[in-house]
Amino acid sequence: MARIFRTTVLGGVLFLLPVVVIFVILRQAVALIQPAMAPLVRRFPERPIAGVSIATLAAVAALVVICFLAGLIARSGPARRVTGLLEWTLLAQLPGYMLVKSFFTGAAQFGDAEGVSTVLARIEDAWQLAFLVETHDDGMRTVFVPGAPSPTSGSVYYLNADRVRPVDIPIQQAVGTIRRLGAGSQDLLRGHLGEPGPVPSPRA
């Protein structure tokens, strides 16, 4: 019971920490944008909407637009190279940065990866939720086994086909179960832990 309580509390801390950090960052960003939006806000009547001032709503809208434009720029090749360099040389050294990034990307990081599918991987004497990344010409599988509660960190294994079992589970649901420390696995894996299913066909 003590171990379960300790693990649950730790999982709660790991969940709340990036939420608090994100809230503080967004609050500071809105505060910085509000003065720039002041000339535009003066054109509207000073009537709060649902208890929120026009200035705050305008700042939030401007922040969303800025994030959207920044996201478009970030998709370009040069921007990705610069971002990757900054992450590994500077940002990764900041406490909590990778945790915040993991919170933002989470399932989307796996969902956007082409050719990735959910599988059960046989690691020693246990089955583990994993993601099939690649099938080799000789039949070996490249499998990423995520950690909990952060599915964006884990280990890469190279396994024989008989140790990789394909499962018809959406990647987002698998990631959600991993984030919840396995809670909900009974329903998610119902019917998947019996006899082995067909081996996935080789990918190009």
Residue range 62-92, pLDDT digits in tens? 888 887 887 777 777 777 777 667 666 666 5
Structural domain including 121 reads 111-188
Q: Do 81 and 7 belong together in one domain? A: yes
Q: Do 73 and 18 belong together in one domain? A: yes
Q: Do 86 and 119 belong together in one domain? A: no
Closest CA to 197 of 162, 166, 161, 160: 166
Our count of domains for the chain comes to: 2
Provide the mean pLDDT of the chain: 75
Q: Does residue 105 form part of some domain? A: no
Res. 163: pLDDT tops 70: yes
pLDDT reported for residue 200: 45
Residue 90 CB-half CA count within 13 A: 5
Cα 9 from chain centre: 21
pLDDT reported for residue 103: 47
pLDDT reported for residue 104: 52
Dist. CA 92–CA 97, nearest whole Å: 6
Whether the Cβ atoms of residue 181 and residue 172 lie closer than 8 Å to each other: no
Residue range 174-191, pLDDT digits in tens? 888 888 888 888 888 887
Dist. CA 14–CA 5, nearest whole Å: 14
Q: Do 115 and 142 belong together in one domain? A: yes
Q: Percentage of residues in the chain with pLDDT exceeding 90?
A: 7
pLDDT reported for residue 98: 53
Res. 133: pLDDT tops 80: yes
Which carries the bigger pLDDT value, residue 48 or residue 107?
48
Amino acid at 46: E
Residue range 91-127, pLDDT digits in tens? 655 555 554 555 455 444 555 455 678 899 999 888 8
Q: How confident is the model at residue 159 (pLDDT cuts 50, 70, 90)?
A: very high
Q: Does residue 104 form part of some domain? A: no
Tokens coding 50: 């649902």
What's the average model confidence in pLDDT over 131-141? 90
What's the average model confidence in pLDDT over 27-35? 81
